[in-house]
Amino acid sequence: MEFAAPTARAKDSCQFVCENDPDGLEVETLDGEKVLAINGVQILSHTCCNLIGEARELVRLGVAALRLSPHTCDMVAVAQVFRDVLDGTRDPQDAMSRLRAVYPNAPFCNGFLHGTNGALYV
């Protein structure tokens, strides 16, 4: 069996093929486990780090900003959910339910913050 070599693309002439995979091109292990996502020149985790349950504690510990990475979902709603939790007008459990509704297929993770496998959700 033969495989075609991937077409190499220079950064300046990429032809914007990353728009074909707006949440990143999935990369799997040999066992078929999704592990990474390639988005333009970035290589990201396949899982989506979600610290909504830890947001208030992070602020209490001195974290001044949380980065919300855009995905193909209603990011305005995502930002509002985080704002509501940080303002104390939404419970973190309710917020998680809302995030799962806004982005139903997202594999959320927060394991790294809890000292375990980063791809897990604790």
Comparing 48 with 115, the larger pLDDT belongs to 115
Q: Do 40 and 63 reside in the same domain of the chain?
A: no
Which of 31-45, 66-80, 85-99 is predicted most confidently?
85-99
Q: Are residues 119 and 85 in the same domain?
A: yes
Q: Please tell me whether residues 32 and 75 are part of one structural domain.
A: no
In 3-state terms the chain splits into helix, strand, coil percentages (rounded to 5) of: 35, 15, 50
Q: Is 52 found in the same domain as 41?
A: no
Domain that holds residue 97: 47-122
Q: How many alpha carbons lie under 13 Å from residue 98 in its C-beta half-sphere?
A: 20
User: 37 and 55: one domain?
Assistant: no
Residues 16 and 68 reside in one and the same domain: no
- CA 121 to CA 13: how far, in whole Å? 38
Same domain, 18 and 60: no
33-47, 50-64, 83-97: least confident range:
33-47
pLDDT of amino acid 13? 63
Q: What is the DSSP string of 8-67?
A: P--GGG-TTGGGGSTT-EEEE-TTS-EEEEEETTEEEESSEE--GGGHHHHHHTT-----
Q: Are residues 15 and 51 in the same domain?
A: no
Q: Supply the pLDDT for residue 1.
A: 42
Task: Provide the domain count of the chain.
Answer: 2
Co-location of 33 and 56 in the same domain: no
Per-residue pLDDT band at 101 (split at 50, 70, 90): very high
Amino acid 73: pLDDT: 85
Q: Are residues 41 and 51 in the same domain?
A: no
Residues 18-50: tens digit of each pLDDT: 666 666 767 777 888 877 777 767 777 778 899
